[in-house]
Structure 1
Amino acid sequence: MRPPMISYPVLVADIGGTNCRLSLVSEPGASHQPLARISTGGHPTPEAALEAVLTTLSQRPRAAVLAVAGPLEGRRAQLTNANWHFDGPELAKALGLEQGLLVNDFEALAASLAVLGDGDLTTLVPGKPDADGIKLVLGPGTGFGAAALLTRGHRGVLIPTEAGHIGIGPEDPTEEKIWPALTAGLPRVTVESLLSGDGVVRFHRAIAQSSGMLEADVSAADVTRLALDGDPAALMAVVCFWRLLARVAGDLALTFKATGGVYIAGGIVPRLLPLADLATVQAVFAGKPPMEDLAAGFALHVITAQDAAEQGLAAIAETPQRFGLDDPRRLWFG
């Protein structure tokens, strides 16, 4: 066996605009062991946040593979929805790490598609997936992300995107009716502004206003809870949210020709699964004239495993070359 490219133990962390989840992988092939979940806003820098956890360990990691919810440039990254900047070599020096790798958070999720099992998924549209086709993962959270996995033999390539920042407009009478209230105050209407936690709240506000109801001051979690309890405005907000998510998922499937399947990730959608109208989701996802025949073959799944990103990071740490990440422009050293 060839020696691992990254030294063990390895710290793996899924770092979003709201929360940061840290785990440790002791050796190649081992499962990740959760260490902590901390608030991104509770620390001024990523170095301070990571050190606060590492200082409690009896054995410190020798390397780190960190998933960052924001765009990357080589060994540097910036969180989109929080004021954290990452410089790989500087972070290694501060934390006493030998080496590491920064990836986009949806690169980590795309890598997880190579290792997730059937029990980690719920299928919404079975489609006719091609085992060798491009797989696409996307989803709403604090923001909206998307990335693809292209595999050829034993090697693959991860394709990160900034799909959350593409523009979007109404497509049916219901959307046209609520669109002015839905997008009020936005300098530019993007996928992320509507398909995110803030977007769920926007949908609830727009439905309430269009119905002449007094809108309550609610969070995305409140809207989900109210919808599950049968509240009319919240339920309609979730229905509209699902419809737009299915539309965007189908559009991005066409963009990537994702014949290997489309996978929805993130913390929001699994909680909304009981409220998904499968007939509507299937019709909107595949309703792409004049490309209905192609779209009919796309499969759509929801990733229900809460540790999908960590599974992807562990797979990257074990064999970066499997995902095209054995790149000296991205690997960094202390």
Structure 2
Amino acid sequence: MKYTRSDFPDGFLFGGVASAETANGLDMYRIPIRWVDIVPDGRTPDIGMLDTYERRVDTILELGMRPCVTLESEVLPDALDDLGGWRNRAVADKFVNFAEVVVSRLGGHMFNMAPKAGFLPDQRLATRPPEFRALARSVHHHLLAVGQACAMMRSYGLKNVGVDCSIANPGFVTVLNAIFNKHYPEDLLNTFGPHLPEGWQKDFEEITVKVDWCGLSFEDDARRDTLNLLKCIVRDHTGTVPLYIATCPASKERFAAHLDALIGAANESLPVRGAFFACGDESTSDSLLSLVTNGKQPAPWVRPTGGLHAHWNLVADIGGTNTRLGVVTEGELTDLRKHPTGTVTDLQKALHSLCDEIGTQPRAVVAAGAGPVQNGTIRLTNANLDLSETELAKATGAHHTFVINDFTAAAWSVAEIDEHDVEVLQGEASPPLGTRLVVGPGTGLGVGALLYSEGHFHTVSGEGGHMGLSPRHLDEVEVFNAARRIAPECFFDDTLVIEAEMFLSGTGLPILYQAIEMTEGRTDAATRSAKDILRAAQDGSDACAVKAARMFTEHLGAIMGDLAVALVPEGGVFLVGGVAEKNRWLFGQDFLRAFNAGGRFDELRRGMNLYVSEQDEFGIVGANNFCKNALAR
């Protein structure tokens, strides 16, 4: 039977999967983009290949066709195969990164885009439990990657996001069940269920995604009951979701059979909106072009302008009193909001509200707070609340979420620091590249470090603020003895060694001051805040405050020098935080003498670069630097 466009529903689209230069006259053209071509080492995009694909897309646009892309992952980069391939959950993240590279470069040119979810291995090939485990995890992690990639595309503002499934693969029912029905088939679970990764059920929140269309790729003669198969797929899985068919008829006769099936689908009111043909011979190609040039043409595709949102990340610095939320667009901080730190629910509402205001989901969220991080959850010491990466994902829809210690963020704040962001206390005017040590007396005493190795920084987390502090001079022995009566739980056994934070912080300075008062016979003095003590020390109105400030300065300088000797940070030692920022007078010659007093290592200490960081919002800066590094891995 000879068909024309008029025999098909209005707006039905015909596409090709052949050379763009010979496909003129079609409505759309599909480009399969292979992961291994774009990111051959699994990490770094090949800019030359991206240029090549962009030129192909430009050619398609010049010919008046709609460019369509499928993201192919049948062949993995060798480096990811070496990690176990799809058996390794981390490979799902790498696939999303590959998809993002393509979206950010080509997304604004596309009519539609979809990850391909049809290459899955034949489950009938598994005969032993080890094979069951490998296959089950590969299938699950691949489907997770497909769902996460679709969510990422939407976060860029793409409106025509789909999935593409190969009907020729025996695993296609598994794919359709997972994506559209939120479960695996019973026969698969009976065999492979025990071998799926722990907590696999929760992943369906990401696997089962909203799609704008579904692609179904048929082999030419693998299934001759195409119409009945389409009816079953629509009834059992896709429902009203628009379908696009792709096939490669080997002959003019097979091409006619496929057209018969498409007309049958229209008569059955199935939502088939278009078809791609990879023509196997010249006569079939001629038949396709004859068809598409006869009859009413569909409306031309208008390429969207400004349709893609610039990707953005959300960074948070959560303190005991205030939480700062930063919007980072293309690596730069573009907006900063401040909220009172309340409950987890309060924080989730603030995050959700910000995402609603922007209109898209962030690519990543990093939240930094004071407290230890365990299994993706941080217990915020000063705010008395727990925050998890899972909760961040629910509140924002971000694919990547990280909770980090506040001094992990503080350390990362100096990763890109230069001479414009520092006051030099000792050493070179501009911080040299190398390992960097960060110390911050604030509410507590924080210590962090960035190790520099093989061209990259790596975070070192620790609790340096709880190192031991002991008397430096004889007249301090009485002070430490008095402090034992104030905070006995903070001393090391029965010694005069106290946790450094209990003197060298906003919380600890009042303890130090009170202990000095006790040695001076003042037993009824009112408790003073750290701010009041430092003000009285600076103007000389209180001798106990003057002594407290001197001890604070000398002990902080000494402990920073000791830490520097342990680490030998060639990239510099940095003071960060409110105390350093607001009380620069504390860090004069007394501080430097204590920092450089190292006995036989005086010369080593004097040769170290010592700075005060002058960055605004160093916690936000550090969270952003951490985020950039984490996403680049």
Smaller-chain TM-score range? 0.7 to 0.9
Q: 1:129 to 1:298 in 2, by over 3 A?
A: farther
- Report the 3-state secondary structure (helix = DSSP H, G, I; strand = E; otherwise coil) of the residue aligned with 1:81: coil
Shift of 1:194: 1.6
Match for 1:106: what amino acid? F
Q: Give yes or no for the alignment of 1:28 onto 2:330.
A: yes
CA contact (8 A) 1:263 1:303 kept: yes
Q: In the alignment, which of 529, 535, 542 is matched to residue 225 of structure 1? A: 535
For residues 81-110 of structure 1, the C-alpha deviation after alignment (integer angstroms, 9 at most, x for no partner) is 332212202331244333222222111121
CA contact (8 A) 2:441 2:576 kept: yes
Shift of 1:48: 2.2
Match for 2:419: what amino acid? D
Residues of 2 paired with 1:310 and 1:198: CA distance? 23
Shift of 1:74: 4.1
Query: Residue in 2 aligned with 1:244?
Result: 555
Q: Give yes or no for the alignment of 1:13 onto 2:316.
A: yes
Q: 1:32 to 1:158 in 2, by over 3 A?
A: farther
Q: Give yes or no for the alignment of 1:58 onto 2:357.
A: yes
Q: Give yes or no for the alignment of 1:264 onto 2:575.
A: yes
For residues 204-263 of structure 1, the C-alpha deviation after alignment (integer angstroms, 9 at most, x for no partner) is 212322233453322112222323333233232212111111011011111212232111
- Report the 3-state secondary structure (helix = DSSP H, G, I; strand = E; otherwise coil) of the residue aligned with 2:387: strand
CA contact (8 A) 1:69 1:105 kept: yes
Query: Residue in 1 aligned with 2:107?
Result: none
Where do residues 47-86 of structure 1 align in structure 2 (5 Å cutoff)?
47-52=345-350, 54-55=352-353, 58-59=357-358, 61-62=361-362, 63-86=364-387
- The number of residues matched between the two structures is 317
The TM-score with structure 1 as length reference comes to 0.85
Where do residues 125-274 of structure 1 align in structure 2 (5 Å cutoff)?
125-126=426-427, 131-183=432-484, 184-188=486-490, 189-213=498-522, 215-232=525-542, 233-274=544-585
Match for 1:318: what amino acid? K
Residues of 2 paired with 1:263 and 1:49: CA distance? 31
List gaps (5 residues or longer) in structure 1: 327-334
Q: 1:174 to 1:266 in 2, by over 3 A?
A: farther
Which has more helix, going by share of residues? Answer: 2
Match for 1:209: what amino acid? M
CA contact (8 A) 1:79 1:85 kept: yes
CA contact (8 A) 2:367 2:402 kept: yes
Q: Give yes or no for the alignment of 1:316 onto 2:626.
A: yes
CA contact (8 A) 1:128 1:297 kept: no
Q: 1:33 to 1:154 in 2, by over 3 A?
A: farther
- Report the 3-state secondary structure (helix = DSSP H, G, I; strand = E; otherwise coil) of the residue aligned with 2:404: strand
- Report the 3-state secondary structure (helix = DSSP H, G, I; strand = E; otherwise coil) of the residue aligned with 2:478: helix
The TM-score with structure 2 as length reference comes to 0.47
Shift of 1:321: 5.8
List gaps (5 residues or longer) in structure 2: 1-43, 46-100, 105-148, 156-310, 491-497
For residues 299-331 of structure 1, the C-alpha deviation after alignment (integer angstroms, 9 at most, x for no partner) is 221223231121122223233266xxx4xxxxx
- Report the 3-state secondary structure (helix = DSSP H, G, I; strand = E; otherwise coil) of the residue aligned with 2:583: helix
Q: In the alignment, which of 400, 403, 406 is matched to residue 99 of structure 1? A: 400
Query: Residue in 2 aligned with 1:331?
Result: none
Match for 2:353: what amino acid? T
- Report the 3-state secondary structure (helix = DSSP H, G, I; strand = E; otherwise coil) of the residue aligned with 2:470: coil
CA contact (8 A) 1:68 1:105 kept: yes
Q: 1:247 to 1:50 in 2, by over 3 A?
A: farther
Match for 2:620: what amino acid? E
Q: 1:295 to 1:321 in 2, by over 3 A?
A: farther
Residues of 1 paired with 2:434 and 2:365: CA distance? 30
Residues of 2 paired with 1:181 and 1:122: CA distance? 36
Residues of 2 paired with 1:288 and 1:311: CA distance? 33
Aligned sequence identity (%): 31
Shift of 1:132: 4.1
- Report the 3-state secondary structure (helix = DSSP H, G, I; strand = E; otherwise coil) of the residue aligned with 2:333: coil
Residues of 1 paired with 2:519 and 2:380: CA distance? 35
Match for 1:117: what amino acid? D
CA contact (8 A) 1:132 1:152 kept: no
CA contact (8 A) 1:115 1:311 kept: no
Q: 1:32 to 1:254 in 2, by over 3 A?
A: farther
Larger Rg: 2
CA contact (8 A) 2:444 2:505 kept: yes
Q: In the alignment, which of 343, 346, 349 is matched to residue 44 of structure 1? A: 343
**Structure having greater relative contact order (Cα 8 Å, sep ≥ 6):** 1
- Report the 3-state secondary structure (helix = DSSP H, G, I; strand = E; otherwise coil) of the residue aligned with 1:268: helix
CA contact (8 A) 2:514 2:527 kept: no
- Report the 3-state secondary structure (helix = DSSP H, G, I; strand = E; otherwise coil) of the residue aligned with 2:330: coil
CA contact (8 A) 1:66 1:103 kept: yes
Shift of 1:51: 1.7
Q: 1:117 to 1:31 in 2, by over 3 A?
A: farther
